[in-house]
Structure 1
Amino acid sequence: MTRSQLDSVSELLQNSPLDLGGDVEKMRRVFDEMLGSAPLPDDVRTRTTELGGVPAVEVRAGAAVAASGTVLYFHGGAYAIGSAASSVGLVSEIARRTAATALTVDYRLAPEHPFPAAVGDALAAYRALLDRGVPAGSVAVTGESAGGGLALALLLAIRDAGLPQPSSATVMSPWTDLTLSGATMTTRADADPAVTRQALETRAADYLAGADPRTALASPLHADLRGLPPLLIQVGGREILLDDALRLAARAARADVPVSLRTFPGAPHVFQGFAAFADEAAQALDEVAAFITSHAQPEG
C-alpha cells in the first residue's frame, strides 16, 4: 500500500504545473499556490516575525503550551522560488512532532539576490537566535532541497565564524552539488517526476551569478565538513539528487561527523510534504522528529 501511495505522489508531481526551471516570477506564483492550496490543520498557529532583519514565519502546532526547543527551517525552491509562508504546511508537521517553536526563514532569492545572499541571511537569522539568549544546543537546523543545501552552508558559516553549533541538522532531499556531477543526474532522469537537470542548470546559473559552483558555501558537498553537528539525511529513490545525498553522507562520515542516512525506495523529491496521505512520508517525519529531540538540549 505504501508504494502505491508514493506512486500517487509521483503522479501528482509529474502532472503539476510547476516547472522548476521556468519563468521565475510565474513559477513563484505557481509554487505558492500549489503549497498554499491545502488548508492548515486547526492546531497550527503562525505569526510573521524577523530574525536579524530577515523575515520569517513562526510556526507552532499541537496542544503544547510551552515550546520545547527551536527548529530553524529553510525552504526549498532551487534558491529562486518558494517562501517561508509556502513551507508552513511541512514545517508545522515537524513542529507538532517535536513540540518545538519552528521558524521558517524568508531568505533572499536569486536571480535578484545571488550567492552568497541566502547564506548571509541564514547566518543572520541564527545569530539573532543566539542574541536572544536561545542556547545553540536547543536549536535544530532543518531544510529541504535547496533549503537543505543552505542549512549545510549555514553550519559551515557558523563554524567559520567561531559560533557554537546547533544540536543537529536534518536535510531532506538536499541539493548539495551545484556542479551537478552526481551519476543519478542521468540514471534517475526518467524516474524523477519533479526535478530535471535542465531546471537545476538554469537555477544554479541564477544563484551563482558567475561564482565557482565548487565553492563550499554554494556546494557543501565539496566542503571540509569537519566540526559539524550530528546530521540526518533523507532522500527518495526516484530522485536525480540521490547522489547528492549519498555522497554527502560518505563525506560527512570521512570527516568524523555523526551522520545517519535514510533512503526511501520509490519516493520522489521532498515526499515528506505529503504526510497527510502517504504513510512513508509520515514515517519519515516521525524519524526527523525523533532525531531532533534525541539531540536537542533543554533550554535553561
Structure 2
Amino acid sequence: MPSLRSQLLIAFLRVTRRKRIYSSVQALLDGIRQVRQTGPAQPSAGMKRCLDIREQCLAGVPVYRLAPRTPTAHGQHLLYLHGGAYVRPITRHHWRFLHELVERSGHTISVPLYPLAPESDCQRTVATVVQIYQQLCAQERQPALGVMGDSAGGGLALALCDALREQGIALPTRLVLICPWVDVRMQHAAIAGSEQDDPMLAAVGLREAGRLYAGELGVDHPHVSPLEGDLGGLPPLLIFAGTRDIAHHDELLFAERCRVAGVQVEPVVGEGMIHVWPILPIPEGRQALAQITQYLDNARRA
C-alpha cells in the first residue's frame, strides 16, 4: 500500500488539477508557452553550498556538472537526461533528486539542458546528446559512461544508445531508466482504462508532445519510440515503473522485450505509484534512491 505521504501527494495533484497540462492539444501548447516564459529551474542555493557545481557549454547547450565537495575514490561519472515530455524543461524536483543522489552515492553527474520541442526535434536533440556524451567521455578519459534518465529523458537515453550503435561508438556501461517514455504513440490497449487512475498524465496531450518532438522522423521511429527499436545489445539496465502511471504498460512491455532480446534487465514496479515516483519526496522515492545507489555500486564492482 502506498505511504501516507504518497497518498497525500496524489490527492494534492488531483486538487490542483496537475493533469490538465496534458488534457488537450491546446492545454499542452499553453503549458509550453508558459514554461518558456519561466525557463528551466536552476540548482538551489542549498545545492550550491553542498555540492561542487560547475557549468560548461557542450554541443551548444548548458551542461551542469554536479560533484561531491569531497571526491570519493569509488565515484563514477554519469550523464542524466531529465524528463518533461520533450517539451518541458528541468524542474526543481529533478535538482532535488540529483542533489540527494550525488550526496548519497558520491558520483559526479552531468546534466545537459538539451534542446526541447517544438523549437527542436528528435533528430537535432539526439545528435546534440550524442555530441555531449562523446565530449564527456573525452573529458573523463573513459570509453563509456553510465546514463540515467526519467520519463522522456529515459526515452532519450535509449535513443542515445541506438544512435551510438549506428555510429559504431561504445554504448553506455549501464542504464537507469525512471518511468521511461518508450512509446510516444501511447497506443497500448490498457492505457484508456488506466487514465482515471493517473493524476498526472493524459494520453491526448502526450501524443501531441510526441508528434511535435518526432518531426520528420515520425512517431514510429525507434529514436522517438524506442519500444520499436532493436533492443538486442543494450547495456544492463534498471527500470522503474509505477502502476498509477498510464505509461507503465509500455514500460513493462519494454522490459519484457529486453529480457527476450537477452538484455540484463532489472524491473522495479511500484504498486500504486505515479509517474517518476523515484524522484519525488516520498518514502518510496527514498527507497528507490537507495536501490539506484546500490545498483550503481554493484555495477562498479562487477
Partner of 1:296: 300
Higher mean C-alpha deviation, range 65-74 or range 158-167:
65-74
Quote the Cα distance in structure 2 between the aligned partners of 1:132 and 1:22.
38
Counterpart amino acid of residue 13 in structure 1: L
Instruction: Quote the sequence identity (%).
Output: 28
- Is the 2:3–2:283 Cα contact (8 Å) retained in structure 1? no
Partner of 1:232: 238
Partner of 2:180: 174
Q: TM-score, normalised by structure 1?
A: 0.88
Question: Residue 196 of structure 1 is aligned with which of 202, 210, 228?
Answer: 202
Higher mean C-alpha deviation, range 139-148 or range 35-44:
35-44
Higher mean C-alpha deviation, range 238-247 or range 82-91:
82-91
- Per the TM alignment, residue 11 of structure 1 is displaced from its structure 2 partner at its CA by 2.3
Partner of 1:150: 156
Question: Structure 2 regions of 5+ residues with no counterpart?
Answer: 23-27
Partner of 2:219: 213
Partner of 1:10: 10
In structure 2, relative to structure 1, the CA distance for the partners of 1:190 and 1:28 (3 Å cut) is farther
Question: Residue 109 of structure 2 is aligned with which of 78, 102, 109?
Answer: 102
Quote the Cα distance in structure 1 between the aligned partners of 2:52 and 2:158.
27
In structure 2, relative to structure 1, the CA distance for the partners of 1:237 and 1:81 (3 Å cut) is same
- Is the 2:93–2:279 Cα contact (8 Å) retained in structure 1? no
Counterpart amino acid of residue 59 in structure 1: L
**Secondary structure at the residue paired with 1:252?**
helix
CA RMSD of the aligned region, Å? 2.6
- Per the TM alignment, residue 36 of structure 1 is displaced from its structure 2 partner at its CA by 7.2
- Per the TM alignment, residue 264 of structure 1 is displaced from its structure 2 partner at its CA by 0.4
Once the two structures are superposed, residues 161-196 of structure 1 have per-residue CA deviations (whole angstroms, 9 ceiling, x without a partner) of 111122100111110002211234212101111111
- Per the TM alignment, residue 271 of structure 1 is displaced from its structure 2 partner at its CA by 1.5
- Per the TM alignment, residue 98 of structure 1 is displaced from its structure 2 partner at its CA by 2.0
Quote the Cα distance in structure 2 between the aligned partners of 1:10 and 1:30.
25
**Structure holding more helix per residue:** 2
Counterpart amino acid of residue 93 in structure 1: E
**Number of positions where the alignment pairs a residue of Structure 1 with one of Structure 2:** 294
Quote the Cα distance in structure 1 between the aligned partners of 2:38 and 2:12.
14
- Is the 1:159–1:227 Cα contact (8 Å) retained in structure 2? no
Quote the Cα distance in structure 1 between the aligned partners of 2:181 and 2:199.
16
Once the two structures are superposed, residues 74-113 of structure 1 have per-residue CA deviations (whole angstroms, 9 ceiling, x without a partner) of 0011001113877322222222232111001111110011
1:140 to 2:153 alignment: no
Quote the Cα distance in structure 1 between the aligned partners of 2:283 and 2:82.
22
**Secondary structure at the residue paired with 2:122?**
coil
Higher mean C-alpha deviation, range 61-70 or range 123-132:
61-70
Question: Structure 1 regions of 5+ residues with no counterpart?
Answer: none
- Is the 1:84–1:105 Cα contact (8 Å) retained in structure 2? no
